[in-house]
Chain A
């Protein structure tokens, strides 16, 4: 209880103090600039008297002159969809104690990626590890493994791993052999068995691998892309911001920080330590970028999710 309260107050504090939001804007490079060799980087027009509050990796707040702050996405010209964002390493934390199968993550993902088939990229599994253990809901998306078995087997380098940790698919190159789907132990990859018929809205976009599904291509593989198009705008992936229960937190491993849909930030290492975070199928050596917090001390009822659950229902379409 006491621990919970502490956390609550800290969350409030963090929520108030940090309107700069997403720490995604402030990288490790930035901190280096703050403490020292910041001489050249002062191209900002902000006056040096203005200050901003920043949180360091151990969770303490400090104020620094605004002129010392440079924003990550200003160096966008260097960004290459196959290389990824420089000096970033994206991670996600999924808190199973909070999931009640509201499926908002799924419908938001479907909507924003124009998924028209029966195959959602994010699925909420009804899990029960053994007969006597408690059931729980497990949202599962691409784990963006550091040792991705899908990338290993792709014959044409259509699916690839970026430096920022994201695994993407180049649908203009994919030959549709589906070997990656066979190799993925998390069953997160889906195939466009027929023409996606996404409508003119999705089709008007020019295809780029870092906004998957827009548009989708028949005969190629799709999957969760960790939303680089949202990160690029300094926003959260669709599932993170859509979740009404703050199940998802997204952030940067180098910054040791993740932020949930309500804007609350946590120190990643501490969160994983306190809550005994784990990754799926660690034994396979795939090194996922998605961490799970066990469904203990639940904030929601498992049964509540059952009303949304029909075993064979396909995904909600938009």
Chain B
């Protein structure tokens, strides 16, 4: 066993939180507690604590749900699609993206329950579920995706857990836990065969399921008649947007982790450069879908569509709409076309803009449509015509985002963010499929 290998293990082994880490975790927990308090109020008083009413019947809970589902798709992109296309450079990013995927899809499930008027009846979905409802499709695929994502996170961890069990020998308890979760991994040829077959199978399986979860999420809207949602373009449009959101999230997280854990040797400038190029491509694809989504209805301008589009182009939502299009899509593409723009720090800033833009983009998809029903909005208080989330809604939504970040943080605390075994193999520090 070379000293290079030992250094690799000690570089990549999970580390205790420093004071910054503790502050960060406490901050997240505080946000979650505030959100939990607000949610209890919501359960006690009803959804009246939100600004949703009979017209704006869905709000940021739903757009936040769509955002989480979107971000979770990146697991399949980085781990599965790149793996199957035999890309080698993605190794240090696979675990990060799988962790993000798991955290996001878990919080997607939580968020949808938060939006329910009767969360106490959530079991009705299983007792009385009807297959013709897109919500049941969503329930099925989101859970399937969660299971496959967890497996795809877990299987590649087996060799690493064994390595960690050895590395933490001095801490008997911790070592024992790692050993237990490594499921008796010894790394013999037979295990390797099962391991690689399983990961390949999962990588193949996860792609259609990933497409399904976001297509079905698009169908939640597309199955209605409403202007802005009544579009045959919606499935692919959502998928394209999801890859943008998820890639932005991975870039942001990998930048932070490489800084905090000094992983520059493993997550190199080259990785940022490559991810930036992928992001440009994805943004361009998404822009193409946006053009389809907006230009054709604008050209026809039917009565219903026109009212909705006017509110986006020049009306109530125009400021948000154009900021998202320019700040979250066009400007990132322009910046990333330059080599300097693809350096880690500028790319990090761009990725934050992309993620923020992606969140608001879901708001733009969900909310404005609802203020343009087929019959005019009459006979209700004027405030019902507009929707602007209440403080309660914001606190609950922020808590879900904080919870996703907390899941990521805790997983990063106990799992190696960069696959140790795979990296060692690639760097020829250990024999492929040897007994280490």
A residues near B, CB below 8 A? 118-120, 123-127, 140, 149, 152-158, 173-179, 181-183, 185-187, 189-195, 218-221, 281, 284, 311-315
Shortest beta-carbon distance, B223 to chain A, in Å? 6
Q: With the chains together, A154 CA to B220 CA distance in Å? A: 11
Q: With the chains together, A221 CA to B54 CA distance in Å? A: 10
Which residue of A118, A157, A311 contacts B378 across the interface (Cβ within 8 Å)? Answer: A311
Q: Count contacts on B: residues with CB < 8 A to the other chain.
A: 47
Q: With the chains together, A294 CA to B374 CA distance in Å? A: 19
Cβ of B47 within 8 Å of any chain A Cβ, yes or no, is yes
* Pairwise interchain contact B46-A124, C-beta atoms closer than 8 A: no
- Contact partners of B45 in chain A: CB under 8 A: 194-195
Which residue of A119, A127, A155 contacts B380 across the interface (Cβ within 8 Å)? Answer: A119
Q: With the chains together, A42 CA to B112 CA distance in Å? A: 58
* Pairwise interchain contact B375-A140, C-beta atoms closer than 8 A: yes
Most buried by B among A149, A181, A284: A181
Shortest beta-carbon distance, B275 to chain A, in Å? 36
- Contact partners of B54 in chain A: CB under 8 A: 119, 181, 187, 189-191
Cβ of B109 within 8 Å of any chain A Cβ, yes or no, is no
Known pairs A155-B130, A219-B47. 8 more at Cβ < 8 A?
A155-B135, A158-B128, A174-B121, A177-B116, A179-B133, A186-B374, A190-B54, A314-B380
* Pairwise interchain contact B225-A314, C-beta atoms closer than 8 A: no
Q: With the chains together, A281 CA to B224 CA distance in Å? A: 14
- Contact partners of A176 in chain B: CB under 8 A: 47, 116-118, 121
* Pairwise interchain contact A173-B128, C-beta atoms closer than 8 A: yes
Q: Which residue on A lies nearest to B304, using beta carbons?
A: A185
Interface digits, B96-138 against A, CB 8 Å rule (1 contact, 0 not)?
Answer: 0000000000000000000111100110110111101111100
Given contacts A149-B224, A194-B45, contact A312 B128 (CB under 8 A): no
Shortest beta-carbon distance, B8 to chain A, in Å? 49
* Pairwise interchain contact B46-A173, C-beta atoms closer than 8 A: no
* Pairwise interchain contact B374-A281, C-beta atoms closer than 8 A: yes
- Contact partners of A315 in chain B: CB under 8 A: 379
Shortest beta-carbon distance, B45 to chain A, in Å? 6
B residues near A, CB below 8 A? 45-48, 50, 52-55, 57-58, 115-118, 121-122, 124-125, 127-130, 132-136, 139, 220-221, 223-226, 370, 373-382, 384
Q: With the chains together, A81 CA to B221 CA distance in Å? A: 31
- Contact partners of A193 in chain B: CB under 8 A: 46-48, 50, 52-53
Shortest beta-carbon distance, A158 to chain B, in Å? 8
- Contact partners of B220 in chain A: CB under 8 A: 179
* Pairwise interchain contact A157-B375, C-beta atoms closer than 8 A: no
* Pairwise interchain contact A154-B118, C-beta atoms closer than 8 A: no
Given contacts A182-B370, A187-B375, contact A154 B117 (CB under 8 A): no
Interface residues of chain B: helix, strand, loop or mixed (majority): loop
* Pairwise interchain contact A175-B374, C-beta atoms closer than 8 A: no
* Pairwise interchain contact A155-B125, C-beta atoms closer than 8 A: yes
* Pairwise interchain contact B223-A183, C-beta atoms closer than 8 A: yes
Most buried by A among B220, B379, B382, B384: B379
Q: With the chains together, A192 CA to B118 CA distance in Å? A: 11
Shortest beta-carbon distance, A157 to chain B, in Å? 5
Shortest beta-carbon distance, B312 to chain A, in Å? 19
- Contact partners of B48 in chain A: CB under 8 A: 193-194
Q: Which residue on A lies nearest to B136, using beta carbons?
A: A155
- Contact partners of B379 in chain A: CB under 8 A: 120, 123-125, 313-315
* Pairwise interchain contact B223-A154, C-beta atoms closer than 8 A: no
Q: With the chains together, A162 CA to B55 CA distance in Å? A: 27
* Pairwise interchain contact B135-A219, C-beta atoms closer than 8 A: no
- Contact partners of A195 in chain B: CB under 8 A: 45-46
Q: Which residue on B lies nearest to A171, using beta carbons?
A: B118
- Contact partners of B225 in chain A: CB under 8 A: 149, 183, 185, 284
* Pairwise interchain contact A187-B55, C-beta atoms closer than 8 A: yes
Given contacts A126-B378, A155-B136, A174-B117, contact A182 B224 (CB under 8 A): yes
Q: With the chains together, A183 CA to B222 CA distance in Å? A: 10
A selection of 13 A-B contacts at a CB cut-off of 8 Å is A152-B133, A154-B130, A156-B127, A173-B128, A176-B116, A176-B117, A179-B134, A179-B135, A185-B226, A191-B53, A194-B45, A194-B47, A314-B379
- Contact partners of A158 in chain B: CB under 8 A: 124, 128
- Contact partners of A140 in chain B: CB under 8 A: 375
Which residue of A127, A175, A218 contacts B122 across the interface (Cβ within 8 Å)? Answer: A175
Most buried by A among B54, B58, B373: B54
